Amino acid sequence: MAGTRILERARVVAIAVGATAVAAVILWLDVTSQVWQELVVLSGLAAGFVTFLLTVFVLDRVLARSAARRWAPVNRLAYTEFLHALADEERSELSRGHVVLRALPRPAHTGSDAEYEGELQRLRELVVAEHRVLADLLSRWAQFLASSGENERILLHVADIALGLDRIRDAALDAEAAREETARRALDDEIGACNGRVRALADELRAGLGAERVPAGRSG
């Protein structure tokens, strides 16, 4: 997310530099070629330039902060609902704000092929259930989060998790078909990566809520 902020800052600076350059060229033409001599032209140019700078660097940010404060209660509700949807209900105490995250388990390789296939089937069913939870949350909150506050990183985390779940499903099918150690390791890697993305999302949510970091209950 730091890269996004740097790009946004660079864009604003580039716009300001460009506007300054255009104003400088106009003023230079006015002084050297006497194309414009009326004081009203210079006054209008200066006023427009000041208005532009105020809009870019002051007004837009003031309006954004005002909108964020106005929608803060609803934003907090959305963050809390996302966080609770990631929680292990048996190990968490949601009424106390104690959230332990669910973990996608790695199938054990020690049993028979039939046992391993059974674990892969349960994993795929769990992936479908987790995907459904994310889809349900996004259907209710994506439009609001995209239009209020700085929620881009939250939505990107959710999208990354959804894509990771798809990769886990595909890797589970490959592991069942190939019956090779490389395919099993690839599946384990995808599970670990997805669990890490969920932890990152939970950390972003808790940071947004202004609370302490989520307990590291989701293994991977």
Count the neighbouring beta carbons within 10 Å of the beta carbon of residue 132.
10
CA distance 194 to 190: 6
Q: Residue 52: enclosing H or E segment and its boundaries?
A: helix 39-54
DSSP-derived secondary structure letter, 55 = I
For residue range 9-32, list pLDDT tens digits in order.
676 677 667 767 766 766 666 666
C-alpha distances in Å from residue 88, one per residue of 1, 47, 82, 91, 147: 28, 58, 13, 6, 30
Cα separations (Å) of 84 from 88, 117, 143, 169? Answer: 8, 31, 20, 24
> What pLDDT, on the 0 to 100 scale, is given for residue 211?
42
Domain boundaries, the chain: 2-69, 72-209
Between 33 and 107, the higher pLDDT residue: 107
Q: Are 45 and 26 in contact (CB under 8 A)?
A: yes
pTM: 0.66
Facing residues of 215 across strands? Answer: none
Torsion angle, CA of 72/73/74/79, rounded to 10 degrees?
80
Supply the pLDDT for residue 168.
97
Residue 33 has pLDDT above 80, yes or no: no
CA atoms within 13 A on the CB side of 92: 21
109-133 pLDDT, tens digit each: 777 888 889 999 999 999 999 999 9
Condensed to tens digits (0 to 9), the pLDDT of residues 162-207 reads 999 999 999 999 999 988 889 999 999 999 999 999 999 999 998 8
Residue 43 structure tokens: 């006054």
Report the alpha-carbon distance of residue 204 to residue 198 in Å, rounded.
Answer: 10
SS3 content of the chain, % helix, strand, coil (to 5): 80, 0, 20
